[in-house]
A and B are shown apart, each in its own frame.
Chain A
């Protein structure tokens, strides 16, 4: 029995800071602990005493890569607390803004963070040397997503135009028209991306985790909905805390969540497997062409699912623009009241839950935020245990690289809990 200690500085290409400790016992992985050591930022505590209008801007700063998710879940929760709901063009605009974030965030992850793993490059920029066309196409898609974010939200990172009840200003049909043309071009590019990534070499692996995502009647979940699970449960956002429980583990500043006492997965694989029937026609065709069934449980293939979701987001954005009529008012009237509201939406990385309690003056007295990363942490550790176990014959460097890939499959946003991964392998 040999004892080896392996340390890799920095898990790259995830958002935030983390380290991984593997304990290998008698040729088997005994424990895998993903240590998320992004410094704690205490958002839930510092939201107390803020006005009901403020959480969308403040919680956006939890993550620069998916701020719209934070803004949307916050708005959903606060609107629920105040008994308001968006409909018609305002609801469409919120979904359209969110499509921009899906396009941009997924294109970033696919091209700059994830694809280099499959093609053997340290990063997307180095990958451009051998795959210039693909990288340029990815950047062009990302740019279209950002342009949509800027058009509706005012800014791609931390949009300024979002508020509880809707927006500060709303575009006219004419404002959206040039975007429609651009999205048509992006649709072709997005289909090309699906073809490109579906040709990668995927290790065989299927996960058995329970799955959880939002559900909206008749369409793929993005900006709101109820919560569904692979075990057949369906419940409103307000019951999320009864099913999902977070607990603290000593090795991480991110909390670990469980669903009815069990490990589970949220994010593209869960979303796709629970809702593939609800994709639009172009995305469905792209998924079929890429060889995805109605379900996908291979975390390495998450890159294909993300690419299909980009097709969907582009397709959906075009549909929303085609149906858009400028609303009379940029926001619905909100009257704050005492009470608690819950809200969910589908961040590119998975379901994001917010809860706020307001007092009569509309000040926040309590806030709770459950980001996708903390929900997925136990499932990622389980993947690491299983997958690393199949590769223990690898040398230290190669094993570390492989573990990083396993983690990047899930695109954990460590800033939302907080970007470095130290890998320690203790072999005994």
Chain B
């Protein structure tokens, strides 16, 4: 019986989410025995032709060439899972969507005319149908293994879509907002990290993006009470998931 094939693709990104796969040190060789890694350029110079059973896609779409490439990846993939904030919501580079890319290019490059880029950074789902989106900047190792295992077994992954607060409570952490008045996006941020920041005495800054149906309106007065001015509120929602609609709405209101 031939093993199911796995492919990993990169678009505009930092490589951190695919590195999470290599960071499964204990499971990596075992996984390699259960799937055929058919294309994974970060890790291997061997590329097998498609179609692929599962494709993991990292990164956002920022160039005309990548707009075409993602359609080819979709055609070659039975199941397509996006990994990380870039692929799922446009990533940090989607901050360009709110600015002027021509001006960005001119400020970074002496000859911007050599640079081929789009005015926007968009998630994969804006271009092709996506079977599952895994959140986080970067994704969580355990969630990745659950997701891979699920699709290889032909079922849906069992992952929470609640907020970081639920994880924080489950770990028994002291709430940094209640205890110290530290602003925290935990109440509106998608679960998955295991409440890392509060565990380090820091407020969540939303790197897993918005949870399902976040009540951002209820959080805003708390953030203000914690000492954030309007500009700071605008900035914190405009980070690694800047273009996720629920976060973009908050930051857009605060842009001059």
Binding site for B on A (CB under 8 A): 9-10, 12-13, 15-17, 38-46, 50-51, 54, 57-58, 61-65, 67, 108, 112-113, 116, 122-126, 128, 132, 135-136, 139-140, 142-143, 146, 154-158, 160-161, 167-169, 247-248, 250, 253, 255, 330, 401, 404, 415, 418-420
With A39-B11, A44-B108, A45-B103: A125-B37 Cβ-Cβ less than 8 Å: yes
Asked if A65 and B45 sit within 8 Å, CB to CB, the answer is no
With A61-B92, A248-B110: A125-B101 Cβ-Cβ less than 8 Å: no
Asked if B138 and A64 sit within 8 Å, CB to CB, the answer is yes
In whole angstroms, what is the CA distance A154 to B15 when docked? 19
Q: Tell which of B44, B63, B103, B201 touches A123, judged by Cβ atoms closer than 8 Å.
A: B44
With A64-B14, A250-B114: A50-B235 Cβ-Cβ less than 8 Å: yes
In whole angstroms, what is the CA distance A132 to B30 when docked? 12
Ranked nearest first, the 9 interchain pairs of A and B with the lowest CB-CB distance are A64-B16, A123-B44, A12-B45, A122-B46, A45-B104, A168-B202, A139-B25, A143-B25, A42-B104
In whole angstroms, what is the CA distance A96 to B22 when docked? 23
Q: Tell which of A61, A63, A123 touches B137, judged by Cβ atoms closer than 8 Å.
A: A61
Q: Tell which of A51, A65, A157, A420 touches B41, judged by Cβ atoms closer than 8 Å.
A: A420
In whole angstroms, what is the CA distance A54 to B115 when docked? 27
Asked if B199 and A154 sit within 8 Å, CB to CB, the answer is yes
With A12-B44, A13-B42, A154-B196: A415-B23 Cβ-Cβ less than 8 Å: no
Number of residues of chain B lying within 8 A (CB) of chain A: 63
List CB contacts (< 8 Å) of B1-57 with chain A: 10-20, 22-23, 25-26, 28-29, 32, 37, 40-47
List CB contacts (< 8 Å) of B102-145 with chain A: 103-105, 107-111, 114-115, 117, 137-138
| Interface status of B197 (Cβ within 8 A of chain A) | yes
Q: Tell which of A65, A112, A132, A140 touches B15, judged by Cβ atoms closer than 8 Å.
A: A65
Q: Tell which of B23, B117, B197 touches A154, judged by Cβ atoms closer than 8 Å.
A: B197
Q: Of all chain A residues, which has the CB nearest B115?
A: A40
Our count of residue pairs bridging A and B at CB distance below 8 angstroms stands at: 182
24 A-B pairs within 8 Å (CB atoms) are namely A10-B45, A12-B42, A12-B46, A13-B41, A39-B66, A41-B62, A45-B99, A45-B103, A58-B92, A64-B17, A125-B43, A125-B44, A126-B44, A132-B29, A139-B25, A140-B25, A143-B26, A154-B197, A169-B202, A248-B114, A255-B109, A415-B13, A415-B14, A418-B12
With A112-B22, A157-B19: A39-B12 Cβ-Cβ less than 8 Å: yes
Residues of B close to A157: CB separation below 8 A? 16, 19-20, 23, 138
Asked if A161 and B200 sit within 8 Å, CB to CB, the answer is yes
In whole angstroms, what is the CA distance A58 to B32 when docked? 33
In whole angstroms, what is the CA distance A39 to B130 when docked? 22
Asked if B205 and A46 sit within 8 Å, CB to CB, the answer is no
With A39-B117, A125-B37, A154-B199: A15-B42 Cβ-Cβ less than 8 Å: yes
Residues of A close to B95: CB separation below 8 A? 46
Asked if B108 and A128 sit within 8 Å, CB to CB, the answer is no
Interface centre among B40, B111, B200 (most CB of A within 10 A): B200
| Interface status of B239 (Cβ within 8 A of chain A) | yes
| Interface status of B232 (Cβ within 8 A of chain A) | yes
Residues of B close to A418: CB separation below 8 A? 12
In whole angstroms, what is the CA distance A154 to B202 when docked? 11
| Interface status of B89 (Cβ within 8 A of chain A) | no
In whole angstroms, what is the CA distance A157 to B84 when docked? 12
Q: Of all chain B residues, which has the CB nearest A44?
A: B108
Nearest CB on A from B211, distance (A): 18
Asked if A112 and B43 sit within 8 Å, CB to CB, the answer is yes
Asked if A13 and B108 sit within 8 Å, CB to CB, the answer is no
Residues of B close to A54: CB separation below 8 A? 235, 239
Q: Of all chain B residues, which has the CB nearest A414?
A: B15
Q: Tell which of A12, A132, A160 touches B197, judged by Cβ atoms closer than 8 Å.
A: A160
| Interface status of B190 (Cβ within 8 A of chain A) | no
In whole angstroms, what is the CA distance A272 to B129 when docked? 49
With A15-B15, A40-B108, A42-B93: A168-B201 Cβ-Cβ less than 8 Å: yes
Contact indicator per residue, chain B 230-241, by CB within 8 Å of chain A (1) or not (0):
001001000110
| Interface status of B91 (Cβ within 8 A of chain A) | yes
Q: Tell which of B111, B200, B235 touches A169, judged by Cβ atoms closer than 8 Å.
A: B200
In whole angstroms, what is the CA distance A124 to B99 when docked? 42
With A58-B92, A419-B42: A136-B200 Cβ-Cβ less than 8 Å: no
| Interface status of B74 (Cβ within 8 A of chain A) | no
Asked if A128 and B29 sit within 8 Å, CB to CB, the answer is yes
In whole angstroms, what is the CA distance A415 to B20 when docked? 15
